[in-house]
Amino acid sequence: MSVTRLNTDGSQRAFREAQEVLVEGVSSPSRGTVNFGEYPIFLVRGEGAYVEDVDQNRYVDLMMAYGALLLGHSHPAVVQAIHRASAEGTLFAAASPVESRVAHLIQSRVKAAERVRFANTGTEATMAALRLARGLTGRSRFIKFEGHYHGWYDDYLVSAHPHPYSDLGLVSDPIAIPESSGLPPSALQQAVLVPWNDLDRLEDALKRYRHEISCVITEPVMANMGVIPPEPGYLRALEKLCHQYGVLFILDETVTGFRLAPGGAAERYGLMPDLLTYGKGLGAGLPVAAIAGKREYMDGLRWGGVLHYGTQNASHIGMSVAEANLSALKPGVYEVLENMGERLENGLTTLFEAHGVSGWVQRVGGMLQVFFGNQAPIRDYRDFCRYASRARFSQFALAMIHHGVYLSPSYSLHSVLSAQHGAAEIDRVLEVVDYVLGLQEGGHQ
């Protein structure tokens, strides 16, 4: 199959129209020109591992709604669940049997999920988890790792995006960098910043602030600085330190939940967190999230304790889709994600060598990111800020998009596979990579 540059004039026109009514022409800044350049691609449908735009161009999708679609686009089980549930009623805002069934499915996969409370987004879930940890301990501060993203709640918006390396401060005393206007001064004082993958620095912070710290919250894999895996044994040791110093251990599985194993990263790395948060992959494209954890801690959300409300919590459609989604995520799905992830990683590595490109791939399961340069591996936020090339990755990613492979053009995000990505899709991606690298060698886009 030949590789040609796609005509995306329809997306350009759609973007002009969208700018008349939407802020920046989009509903989330990451979808706009900050990442996509002149204009984003406007998508209208998806099926399996593919998406189609307003110009009827078809793309192999490596974004998969930022990882929400483990089963791929328009999976029959998900579509049927939506049809059935919408006919029964879109929202009751009342107790419903399906939410208990979904909670049982989560419990069957995650040992630490003795109790579950549903929410709508990963941000809501992590907000509730932090409030719960504060309520249980009576302490307001928490340890957050540099470069980890836990949603757009005020207290989390500290050193969560890439910045010039010279702005980060000393590793022994990181500078808290606000990620937004409108944050109250207190937000910068709540998070105790610690470099990730560094147990000595973590223990130093726990010793220094042990009477102020309510919890340690961590992504199990850094997924908003590309893909940065934990060092061997790091997460188990982190969990042990939390117990040793009497603070709660929160594992934020918004990105990794049900993706890296049937029980998510908790299963893959052998963890028993006090609290866990879920988002993206739980709802298969619908706004479904959850807080889960040990009963002794989750019971803090009972009436009269830590407040957590939500009219949309456990919506009938959302729960019905989550039930269908989790039921369809059989062990074979994870074999596909691992095998196809390995096939893509190996193919990319081979092509980089063939084209003389200084670059490498970092991967965990079916999630991966390409880095350009000579400083492999990237093992923490400071490495990323110092060595990852935004310009080089953006140039590569935008060229891939305009030749039929849809992926996030943000160098701090990553690509993801679904159960619908087979050898044909991976080989097509590699064919486009080969073509794009050849173009860029010749000074073309």
Q: At which residue do the structure tokens 């890439």 appear?
A: 162
Alpha carbon of 290 to those of 157, 238, 270, 313: distances in Å? 21, 23, 20, 9
> Is 149 designated active site?
yes
Known active-site residue 252: yes
| Confidence at residue 375, expressed as pLDDT on a 0 to 100 scale | 84
- Give pLDDT, residue 329: 97
CA distance 305 to 384: 40
Catalytic residue among 245, 280, 294, 334: 280
For residue 127 the two structure tokens come to 């907000």
| Distance from the Cα of residue 341 to its chain's centroid | 16
- Phi then psi for residue 136, to 5 deg, are -70, -35
Active-site choice (252, 274, 380, 383): 252
111 is catalytic: no
Domains, the chain, ordered by start:
9-70+331-441 (3.90.1150.10), 76-328 (3.40.640.10)
Report, in angstroms and rounded to the nearest whole number, the Rg of the chain calculated over CA atoms. 22
Half-sphere exposure of 11 (CA within 13 A, CB side): 23
Comparing C-alpha atoms, which of 198, 227, 280 is closest to residue 411?
A: 227
pLDDT profile of the chain (445 residues), mean per 10: 94 97 93 92 98 98 97 98 96 95 98 98 97 98 98 96 96 95 92 97 96 98 97 98 98 98 98 98 97 98 94 96 97 97 98 95 98 91 95 96 97 97 98 94 62
Joined tokens for residue 393 = 């990755």
User: Which of 39, 59, 149, 297 is the catalytic position?
Assistant: 149
Query: Do the Cβ atoms of 340 and 423 come closer than 8 Å?
Result: yes
Beta strand 169-170 pairing with 173-174:
antiparallel
The tokens for 123 are: 């941000």
Within 10 Å of residue 356's Cβ, how many Cβ atoms?
A: 8
Question: Whose CA is closest to 212, among 286, 142, 263?
Answer: 142
Three-state SS string over the chain comes to CCCCCCCCHHHHHHHHHHCCCCHHHCCCHHHCHHHHCCCCCCEEEEEECEEEECCCCEEEECCHHHHCCCCCECCHHHHHHHHHHHHHCCCCCCCCHHHHHHHHHHHHHCCCCCEEEEECCHHHHHHHHHHHHHHHHCCCEEEEECCCCCCCCHHHCECCCCCCHHHCEECCEECCCECCCCCCCCHHHHEEEECCCCHHHHHHHHHHHCCCEEEEEECCCECCCCCECCCCCHHHHHHHHHHHCCCEEEEEECCCCCCCCCCHHHHHCCCCCCEEEECHHHCCCCCCEEEEECHHHHHHHCCCCCCCCCCCCCCHHHHHHHHHHHHHCCHHHHHHHHHHHHHHHHHHHHHHHHHCCCEEEEEECCEEEEEECCCCCCCCHHHHHHHCCHHHHHHHHHHHHCCCEECCCCCCCCEECCCCCCHHHHHHHHHHHHHHHHHHHCCCC
